[in-house]
Structure 1
Amino acid sequence: MSKNNPLFKFAILSISLICMVAPAVSATVPDILSVFPNRSAGSIELLMSVPNFGIFLFVFIAPMITRKIGDKTTVLLGLTIALLAGVTPAFTTNYTLLLISRFLLGCGIGLFNALAYSLITKYYSGEERNRLLGYQGALTALGSTIFSLIAGWLLQFNWHLSYLVYFIAIIPIILFGFIVPNGQQDLEENASDKKVTIERAVIFYSVYLFFVYAFFMTAIFKLASLFIEMGIGTPAQASLSLAILTACGFFSGIVFGKVKQGLKSFTGPVAVACLGVSLVSLSLANHLVLVTVLVIAIGFFQGLINPTVFSEVAEVSNAASQNIASTCLLVGINLGVFLNPTIISGFSKLAGITTTSTTFLLSGALLIISAVIYQLFIQAQNKKVKKVMEQ
């Protein structure tokens, strides 16, 4: 099947539906606590966080596995592990099995996480690549939203049933398995004479995403605390706002191609700057309607960042290096998310910050500074390219 066939494109994009589904069953924690009254809340909450460790670990390992067994087999292996491990808690109340299965869910997702991006950058270029990277982000957000909604609906019957939501992984397994070819001879021929390298720009973007996510995740982790501190609303309303924030990533992904086409190299700096301004404004907001508008803005602008950076990295990486480049970016993102509390706490102590609202102000200001650094880097890159062309 031609790579330009819409069904082929959807088959590649379909694996993105599973990339961010590990937390979808977080609402089952209270019910699981009642099943294990002798275990601490922390040990039960570990069931929700341990997939992230599996993802982080296998994002590192995946490129080596991919070189041995190929892109398609790696994706199908990862999806199958995610499916089987994901549904296991539906059939057991053994804590050890629950913990192992949740860890393996993360391992499965980690196997194909980078390929969700690199397959697009391998097969497509230019505006088509930008458009599909936007759709990739949109489907990731959509998958997270759909999984959470279905898991929440099943939870009203039984917490075990919530984990049946992972059966949805059958959809990308079928699509990818039947439509994407076994061999990638055309891609391999193009990449055979090229060495796998990590460009300096890839290192910059990986470190950059680390800090951007370390600052941005304040909006996710501390929104409920901000609601309570400022008397904006209840934790339940904060939870709804977070769902809106995630959903907005779908819309920014859909329009990313057009935004990139219009703003060109300014897309990334503008998105990060607007994200920073939104966080600063949120720290000053005192009405639920205004907060909702700002949450929508945060979700939209954050949804533009990943496809922008992955697109720009694809332009500086050769065909043989696309997967390792995507892996580096994902490592930066996951580390930033994981270390957000530590980094923000450190900055807060230096600045003498003690309130949640001021923490939002600090995070927003750091993002605005990050946007300036982003723009300076792009200008330096453009000057370098211009100098090479003149020679």
Structure 2
Amino acid sequence: MDKKTNNLGLKLGILATSLLISDATAISVTVAPMEATFSNISATTVESLVTIPSFSMLLFILLSNFVIRLIGKKKTVLLGLSMAFIGGVLPAFVTSFPAIIFCRFLLGAGVGTYNTLAVGLISDFFTGVEQKKLLGFQTATSAIGSALTTFLAGILVSYDWHYAYLVYALSIPILLVFYLNVPEPSKKIANDSSALNAQEKNKIKLNSTVILSVVSMFFMFVFLMNIATKTSEFLTEQNIKNAAFLGTALTIGGLLGAVSGFLYGRVYVHLKNITPIFSSAVVALGFAGVAYSSEMILFTVGTSLVYIGYSMLISYLYGVIFDNVNAASKNISVSLAMVACNLGAFFSPYIVSIISNAIGNSSAKEGLSMSVLFYGVLAVIFVFPVFKKGIGSNTTKAIDGNN
């Protein structure tokens, strides 16, 4: 075959794996109808179906290196996609709530098994400008996959909430494209990488700025997940017309968030360390638009602002982390950040529920209002580093590396 054709197939095969890595929240549109079906189950437990994959994903990200050493990278991706297919689609055919919980756990486990390879394989096969370009495409592919599955789930849920889970059948064509186009990477690459990691272990250092950034990411996700776990319930609670538009609203928000991420470098050049204040305020404004909306237009605008602001904020924090660690510490720092994000997502419904019970108001609107307050306070907190010349300066190089 033509070399260029093979190269294109390789790129498509690797990028295809990213279509599924951010799709756990696609079925957030099913929360309200599932609460009606499982009326004997607490709302918090039903909401946790959206976030359970984040927990199992975290566990299997930590286990993935062992699996890779055992069966190789290609088989690890194929195993992960197979697990994701079974766990993702099975809820469309079962009626037992415990079984659905297990399936959601299995979905996250499958994605977590190959999650790191969605990026790692790019560095295995490509270098230089080509590698950076593909890393940008990887981010876009992930956003497109999330938007696509959320949109389709929004359509399917109008027939029956079971059908919404069929969006995870997307894992089958992904598996086939990957299997047909991506070979097992050279073992020499993996061995060289392992040797380098062994040499650098004793050089790993994390300062207080990195730790504060990681902790911030945890709480950011705790209150960010309300956009996925509370919105379906909110629309039902407030009896807002055209609630079936929820899936489309989340899709629009996701796509605009992806665009925001691509534009982040330019935004930072102009705003510098004011960036986290601005982006936190945008997220707070977005949640306010959602929480106090009485029609779908304002709701959609609010949702879009949440995704736009979050995309810039998370990029800024990764930039701060990169600016405050040495080369040996970057991998562990990013891993800690991923762990914090996944833990925050998993514990979100429980933490929000505890706060709701403490204040005596468990409505979805109150949950969304908590997010307004949190991100508003976060914007104020970020003011202090600005007046102290910043806790860390995001270099242009770091920004380009993230986008």
Structures share fold, TM-score greater than 0.5: yes
Q: What amino acid is aligned across from residue 139 of structure 1 in structure 2?
A: T
Q: Tell me how far 1:183 sits from its aligned partner.
A: 1.9
Whether the aligned pair in 2 keeps the contact of 1:16 and 1:143 (CA below 8 Å) is: yes
Matched with 1:365 is 376
Answering whether residue 352 of structure 2 is matched by residue 336 of structure 1, we say no
1:35-46 counterparts in 2 under 5 A? 40=41
Distance change in 2, residues 1:58/1:228 (3 Å): same
Aligned-partner Cα distance in 1 for 2:91–2:100: 6
Matched with 1:139 is 141
Aligned-partner Cα distance in 1 for 2:86–2:286: 44
Identify the match of residue 109 of structure 2 among 96, 107, 110: 107
Q: Tell me how far 1:14 sits from its aligned partner.
A: 1.8
1:39-78 counterparts in 2 under 5 A? 40=41, 48-78=50-80
Q: What amino acid is aligned across from residue 265 of structure 2 in structure 1?
A: K
Q: Deviations over 1:189-230 (max 9, x none)?
A: 65244125455266554323113323434555555788899x
TM-score normalized by structure 1? 0.72
Q: What amino acid is aligned across from residue 64 of structure 2 in structure 1?
A: A
Aligned-partner Cα distance in 2 for 1:161–1:281: 30
Matched with 1:260 is 265
SS in 2 for 1:194: helix
Q: What amino acid is aligned across from residue 75 of structure 2 in structure 1?
A: T
Q: What amino acid is aligned across from residue 80 of structure 1 in structure 2?
A: S
Distance change in 2, residues 1:59/1:373 (3 Å): farther
Whether the aligned pair in 1 keeps the contact of 2:48 and 2:346 (CA below 8 Å) is: no
Q: What amino acid is aligned across from residue 377 of structure 2 in structure 1?
A: L
Aligned-partner Cα distance in 1 for 2:5–2:61: 26
Whether the aligned pair in 1 keeps the contact of 2:25 and 2:228 (CA below 8 Å) is: no
Q: What amino acid is aligned across from residue 332 of structure 1 in structure 2?
A: A
Answering whether residue 303 of structure 2 is matched by residue 303 of structure 1, we say no
Q: Cα RMSD over matched residues?
A: 4.8
157-166 or 362-371, which deviates more = 157-166
Q: Tell me how far 1:41 sits from its aligned partner.
A: 5.4
Q: Tell me how far 1:330 sits from its aligned partner.
A: 1.8
Q: Deviations over 1:107-143 (max 9, x none)?
A: 1122123333444566667876665455434333332
Q: Deviations over 1:304-347 (max 9, x none)?
A: 3445555776785759974x554322211122223446666888
Identical pairs, percent: 28
Q: Deviations over 1:10-67 (max 9, x none)?
A: 3322222112333434555677678778x53557666555434322322332233334
Distance change in 2, residues 1:6/1:225 (3 Å): same
Aligned-partner Cα distance in 2 for 1:255–1:153: 26
Aligned-partner Cα distance in 1 for 2:259–2:128: 16
Aligned-partner Cα distance in 1 for 2:153–2:234: 27
Matched with 1:247 is 252
Matched with 1:216 is 224
Distance change in 2, residues 1:337/1:68 (3 Å): same
Matched with 1:150 is 152
Aligned-partner Cα distance in 2 for 1:91–1:79: 19
SS in 2 for 1:377: coil
Matched with 2:172 is 170
Q: What amino acid is aligned across from residue 263 of structure 1 in structure 2?
A: Y
Whether the aligned pair in 2 keeps the contact of 1:81 and 1:105 (CA below 8 Å) is: yes
Matched with 1:194 is 196
Matched with 1:270 is 275
Distance change in 2, residues 1:165/1:269 (3 Å): same
SS in 1 for 2:197: coil
Distance change in 2, residues 1:297/1:95 (3 Å): closer
TM-score normalized by structure 2? 0.70
Distance change in 2, residues 1:83/1:341 (3 Å): closer
Q: Which runs of 5+ in 1 are unaligned?
A: 383-391
Aligned-partner Cα distance in 2 for 1:249–1:185: 37
Aligned-partner Cα distance in 1 for 2:254–2:273: 15
Distance change in 2, residues 1:306/1:159 (3 Å): same
Q: What amino acid is aligned across from residue 378 of structure 1 in structure 2?
A: G
5-14 or 171-180, which deviates more = 5-14
Distance change in 2, residues 1:24/1:378 (3 Å): same
User: Matched residue pairs, number?
Assistant: 377
Whether the aligned pair in 1 keeps the contact of 2:275 and 2:313 (CA below 8 Å) is: no
